[in-house]
Structure 1
Amino acid sequence: MFRKLLVPMDFSAAALEACRIATELAQSGGATLWLLKIIEPSQETLNLEPMMALGAQQMFHDLDEQLLDANHTRLDALAQTLRDQGIPVETTVARGHPQDLVCRLAEDQGVDLIVMGSRGLGAFKQLFLGSVSNYVLQHASCPVLITRAPGSEPLN
């Protein structure tokens, strides 16, 4: 039924549950999992003072590279665990805004299903912060399965 499943991964309990469910779907249907880790731009790095000392710029660049390397390592470790179970896995680490990148990668790669966790922000926080899962649900070019962390309470 599904050939390619996209799993956005922030390593939260909800994302790990989404990965568990996607793994079961992949095992039962022979699908490939595509794990996506997105590094969001931070205000600190987006608003660097134009006159900032070169040393500080180099420090931010070095920290950014360390963050990128750490995320590759963590995602690759998860991918290897899944491969050891016989599941074909692709990985991508990208920089940008999660809602846009999830939808774009799903469309560009011909993804059949996005399986993602919801952090369960609640209505008030979603009003101000938005919801990546809600955005993806509304804008993705394929079906979306949204999961919650085990033991999380339903939103009222």
Structure 2
Amino acid sequence: MFKTVLFAIDQSREAREAAEKVVNIVQTYQANLYVLAVVEPKEPEGEQPHSEPMASPEAVNLLLKEAHTMFTNFGIDAKPIEREGKPAFTICDVADEIDADLIVMGSRGMGLTEEGVADSITNRVINLSPCPVLVVP
């Protein structure tokens, strides 16, 4: 049923809790797992940012490394993907690129920003997704 699962991660507690569901789904369906971290681009000089991006490559690298280690401990080969862009659009674009059967994400993710704008990100993903979306509270 689910051959390819895309897990969109950020630094939120909900994303960490969603990882449990991802392990169960991937093991049950013997699915391929892609773990995606999206970093919002910085605003051009002179423009006011909507939020302060935490776009440091180190932060994203650490997040993906921790996720990879956690999934490896469950015997799952998670393929990390790092992208820059608007989170909802990027998540849906990547899902389309990898032909995902399911997107899993936390309900109130923070994105990789200091201020959370996740409710709208989650809603946008649900509305734009090329496949089913599992939102974990």
TM over 0.5: yes
Equivalent residue for 1:119? 108
Higher Rg? 1
Long gaps (5+) in structure 2: 47-53, 110-116
SS at the partner of 2:130? coil
Count of aligned positions = 124
Residue 25 of structure 1 contacts residue 31 of structure 1 at CA under 8 Å; is this kept in 2?
Answer: yes
Residue 68 of structure 2 contacts residue 80 of structure 2 at CA under 8 Å; is this kept in 1?
Answer: yes
Long gaps (5+) in structure 1: 50-62, 121-127, 149-156
Residue 5 of structure 2 contacts residue 32 of structure 2 at CA under 8 Å; is this kept in 1?
Answer: yes
Misfit runs of 4+, over 6 Å: none
Q: 1:76 aligns with which of 58, 61, 65?
A: 65
Equivalent residue for 1:153? none
Instruction: Determine the C-alpha separation between the residues in 1 that align with 2:104 and 2:25.
Output: 10
Bigger mean CA deviation after superposition, 1-10 or 70-79? 70-79
Q: 2:84 aligns with which of 82, 89, 95?
A: 95
Counterpart residue type for residue 32 of structure 1: N
TM-score (normalised: structure 2): 0.80
Equivalent residue for 1:16? 16
Residue 107 of structure 2 contacts residue 119 of structure 2 at CA under 8 Å; is this kept in 1?
Answer: no
Counterpart residue type for residue 45 of structure 2: L
Q: How does 1:40-79 map to 2 (within 5 A)?
A: 40-41=40-41, 45-49=42-46, 67-79=56-68
Identity %: 31
Q: Pairwise CA RMSD of aligned residues? A: 2.3
Instruction: Determine the C-alpha separation between the residues in 1 that align with 2:38 and 2:118.
Output: 17
